[in-house]
């Protein structure tokens, strides 16, 4: 049964630039993958007055009150200033059971008109069992700290939850100077929640009621075999000593934890993509009817949980008559939680069909290591037959995909534009599309033989000064379109996609290769630019994966920093 929470709110109408989900009401929920009892932040944005009705499951419990306010921004479009405004209400709650739940939609009723938002799906996981040194052995102390962790023995790439935990037999008044735990080897670490926010609870230890505090929760992915040592965290705090009239200050230092990291078993399949966890594979092609010489889009989705962020692209086994354009585009859609990276990774490949007739693609298979079964497991996806219509005028060349031709998900290379009239071989050259390509720098480059190269030689044209100017202009143009997106979360994700795409184009690498480590190794940009780029990437990771929520301030700040980088190195 679903219960309905009705928020009786009368909102005065504010003209708004149409970029909300339904132009009038938006629902934002974060995070969407949580543990049982973990706080969920819900925000309702609306630009119309009326009665607000939001459907929530019975398992949802609201905690605390509702915060309300108004947000607005000024956009400059074609020299005209446009005000964007809406009212919002935010509240926090949690779900009491495991499973998958639908939250929303939100409906605003204004007379006979109804405005409805999208709904969200929230996945609730069982609370992670944590391991720590025996607290009862420290009960002779008023206050002590222990490092809690979800596992003491893991395979390389298998996620571990680590958190600082403080036990107190006296009332704690204030935390000061928290220094988080450190690792003696490199790990892929990501914050779970706000790192400076303290979560409190009570536990019974040896018959005594003890208050506990958790801070600095992280999910880590060890990538070195052997022992991983987690060095102590430290903090200073004020507490109320019943034997004193004034608060007392003390310093505590936790224990050290050792994790055993095992290597993956030998005999990994040839289609192993480096995945550790539980995954499945799905995919599709954009069309099964295509004219010879044109391009079809093939998508593969790897979905599941584990070290999803670090997996490699699935490999295609293409039959004769099909050519692959460059590297696949990669779109990340996952959240870090107690089971690792939960969600999906989408790979988009562009295939040129060079022959006519029926073409059958081979199934794509992937293998991953399941740490629960301790075995390599596989997943596969098959595709329908492609029917290629003969085109005697098709020009079949060794395909090259330029980075500025591969845009965001859903946008195609120029070569994917099919001719409207297959019987007229001149229609392409007389159309605006043909004129555009004929007189573009890309086509002229083909004529002088400057950019024809093999896939593993993609370095010259993309890195030229002219290409970098194009990438700069394209990136700045895309940044100006952000205000058309519905939510701050969508703006934040699009913002980072634009930034990473620009960097990939600039350095002539695939998007997955744009890492902080890679940026720091580049010699043709200044130290200040490197520092700003890595800062932007750190800030975005914190907001995107730790359960944080993008807001207008974040978007404005990140946009300014990204524009600065593009203008400086572009």
Cα Rg of the chain, angstroms: 27
Q: Calculate the alpha carbon distances from 416 to 286, 288, 292 in Å.
A: 11, 14, 11
265 pLDDT above the threshold of 80: yes
With 0-12 / 13-18 / 19 or more C-beta atoms within 10 angstroms meaning exposed / middle / buried, residue 484 is: middle
Topology (CATH) of 2-125:
Immunoglobulin-like (2.60.40)
Average pLDDT over residues 163-173: 92
CATH class of residue range 272-430 = mainly beta
Cβ atoms of 347 and 308 within 8 Å: the answer is: no
232 pLDDT above the threshold of 80: yes
- Name the nearest CA neighbour of 221 among 276, 170, 280, 181: 276
Tell me whether the omega of the peptide bond preceding residue 517 falls within 30 degrees of 0, making it cis: no
Q: What's the pLDDT tens digit per position in 76-99?
A: 555 566 666 778 889 988 898 989
Q: Calculate the alpha carbon distances from 125 to 29, 413, 453 in Å.
A: 17, 40, 49
Average pLDDT over residues 157-165: 96
Q: Which of 23-27, 502-506, 516-520, 542-546 has the lowest mean pLDDT?
A: 542-546
- Residue 559 confidence (pLDDT): 87
- Residue 271 confidence (pLDDT): 96
Please spell the DSSP secondary structure of 533-555, one letter per residue: HHHHHHHHHHHHHSS----HHHH
Stretch (H or E) spanning 164: strand 160-168
- Residue 73 confidence (pLDDT): 58
The more confident residue out of 424 and 13 is 424
Average pLDDT over residues 311-315: 95
CB count within 10 Å of CB 415 equals: 18
Q: Share the mean pLDDT of the chain.
A: 80
Average pLDDT over residues 289-315: 95
- Residue 516 confidence (pLDDT): 84
Q: Calculate the alpha carbon distances from 539 to 29, 499, 548 in Å.
A: 20, 13, 11
Cα separation, 335 vs 545, whole angstroms: 5
- Residue 453 confidence (pLDDT): 41
- Name the nearest CA neighbour of 198 among 211, 210, 215, 212: 215
- Residue 78 confidence (pLDDT): 58
Q: Angle, nearest 10°, between helix axes 488-507 and 465-479?
A: 180
Average pLDDT over residues 447-454: 41
291 pLDDT above the threshold of 90: yes
Average pLDDT over residues 214-221: 94
Q: Which of 114-118, 261-265, 275-279 has the lowest mean pLDDT?
A: 114-118
- Residue 83 confidence (pLDDT): 66
Average pLDDT over residues 130-137: 70
- Residue 469 confidence (pLDDT): 75
**Domain map of the chain by residue range?**
2-125, 135-262, 272-430, 472-569
- Name the nearest CA neighbour of 158 among 377, 379, 370, 376: 370
pLDDT confidence bin for 452, thresholds 50/70/90: very low
Share of the chain above pLDDT 90, in %: 39
- Residue 400 confidence (pLDDT): 44
- Name the nearest CA neighbour of 27 among 489, 482, 336: 489
- pTM (2 decimals)? 0.59
Backbone phi and psi for residue 365, each to the nearest 5 degrees, phi listed first: -125, 150
Average pLDDT over residues 555-570: 84
pLDDT confidence bin for 462, thresholds 50/70/90: very low
Q: What's the pLDDT tens digit per position in 386-444?
A: 999 998 877 665 544 433 333 333 333 433 333 333 344 444 444 444 444 444 444 44
The more confident residue out of 202 and 275 is 275
The more confident residue out of 10 and 38 is 38
Q: What does the buried/exposed string (b/e) look like for 497-528 if buried means 16 or more CB atoms within 10 Å of the residue's CB?
A: bbbbbbbbbbbbbbbbebeeeebeeeeebeee
Q: What's the pLDDT tens digit per position in 27-40?
A: 989 888 888 888 88
CB count within 10 Å of CB 557 equals: 12
Pairing of strands 153-155, 187-191: unpaired
Q: What's the pLDDT tens digit per position in 482-518?
A: 766 657 777 777 888 899 988 988 888 877 778 888 8
Q: Which of 14-23, 76-85, 161-170, 353-362 has the lowest mean pLDDT?
A: 14-23
Average pLDDT over residues 247-274: 94
- Residue 5 confidence (pLDDT): 45
CATH match of 135-262 with 2.60.40: yes
pLDDT confidence bin for 242, thresholds 50/70/90: confident
Q: Which residues contact 31 (CB under 8 A, 6 or more apart)?
A: 38, 40, 335, 337, 547
In the chain, the N- to C-terminal Cα span, in Å, equals: 56
Please spell the DSSP secondary structure of 114-150, one letter per residue: EEE---EEEEEEPPPP-B-S-GGGGTTSSEEEEEEES
Q: Which residues contact 234 (CB under 8 A, 6 or more apart)?
A: 177, 178, 179, 251, 252, 253, 254
Cα separation, 149 vs 259, whole angstroms: 9
Cα separation, 374 vs 379, whole angstroms: 16
- Residue 133 confidence (pLDDT): 65
Cβ atoms of 388 and 290 within 8 Å: the answer is: yes
């Amino acid at each position: 049964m679903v219960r309905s929470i009705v928020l009786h709110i009368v909102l005065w109408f504010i003209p708004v630039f149409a970029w909300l989900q339904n132009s009038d009401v938006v629902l934002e929920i974060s995070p969407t993958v949580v543990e049982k009892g973990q706080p969920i932040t819900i925000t309702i944005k609306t630009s119309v007055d009326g009665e607000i009705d939001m459907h929530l499951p019975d398992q949802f419990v609201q905690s605390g009150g509702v915060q309300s306010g108004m947000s607005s921004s000024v956009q400059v479009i074609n020299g005209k200033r446009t005000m964007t405004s809406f009212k919002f209400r935010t509240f926090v709650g949690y779900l009491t059971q495991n499973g998958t739940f639908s939250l929303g939609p939100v409906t605003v009723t204004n007379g006979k008109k109804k405005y409805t938002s999208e709904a969200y799906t929230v996945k609730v996981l069982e609370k992670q069992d944590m391991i720590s040194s025996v607290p009862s052995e420290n009960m002779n102390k008023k206050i002590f700290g222990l490092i809690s962790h979800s596992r003491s023995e893991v395979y390389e790439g298998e996620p571990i939850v680590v958190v600082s935990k403080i036990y107190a037999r006296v009332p704690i008044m204030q935390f000061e100077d928290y220094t988080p735990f450190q690792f003696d080897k490199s790990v892929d670490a990501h914050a779970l929640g706000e790192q400076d926010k303290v979560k409190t609870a009570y536990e019974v230890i040896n018959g005594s009621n003890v208050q506990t505090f958790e801070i600095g929760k992280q999910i880590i992915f060890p990538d070195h075999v052997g022992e991983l040592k987690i060095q102590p965290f430290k903090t200073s705090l004020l507490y109320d000593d019943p034997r004193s009239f004034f608060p007392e200050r003390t310093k505590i230092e936790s224990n050290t934890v050792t994790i055993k990291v095992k290597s993956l078993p030998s005999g990994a399949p040839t289609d192993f993509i480096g995945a550790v966890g539980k995954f499945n594979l799905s995919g599709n092609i954009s069309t099964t009817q295509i004219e010879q010489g044109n391009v079809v889009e093939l998508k593969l989705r790897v979905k599941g949980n584990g070290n999803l962020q670090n997996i490699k692209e699935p490999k295609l086994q293409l039959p004769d008559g099909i050519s692959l354009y460059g590297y696949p585009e990669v779109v990340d859609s996952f959240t870090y939680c107690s089971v690792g990276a939960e969600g999906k990774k989408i790979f988009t490949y562009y295939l040129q069909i060079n022959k006519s007739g029926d073409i059958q693609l081979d199934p794509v298979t992937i293998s991953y290591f399941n740490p629960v079964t301790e075995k390599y497991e596989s997943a596969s996806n098959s595709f329908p037959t492609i029917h290629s219509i003969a085109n005697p005028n098709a020009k079949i060349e060794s395909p090259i995909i330029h980075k500025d031709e591969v845009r965001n998900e859903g946008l195609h290379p120029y070569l994917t534009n099919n001719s409207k009239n297959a019987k007229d071989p001149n229609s392409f050259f007389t159309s605006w599309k043909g004129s555009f390509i004929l007189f573009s720098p890309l086509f002229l480059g083909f004529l002088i033989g400057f950019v024809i190269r093999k896939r593993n030689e993609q370095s010259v044209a993309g890195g030229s000064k002219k290409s970098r100017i194009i990438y700069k202009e394209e990136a700045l143009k895309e940044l100006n379109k952000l205000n058309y997106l519905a939510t701050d979360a969508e703006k934040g994700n699009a913002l980072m996609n634009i930034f990473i795409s620009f960097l990939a184009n600039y350095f002539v690498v695939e998007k997955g290769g744009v890492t902080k480590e890679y940026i720091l190794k580049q010699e043709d940009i200044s130290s200040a630019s490197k520092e700003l780029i890595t800062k932007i990437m750190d800030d975005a990771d914190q907001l995107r994966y730790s359960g944080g929520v993008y807001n207008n301030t974040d978007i404005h700040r990140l946009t300014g920093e990204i524009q600065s980088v593009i203008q400086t190195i572009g």
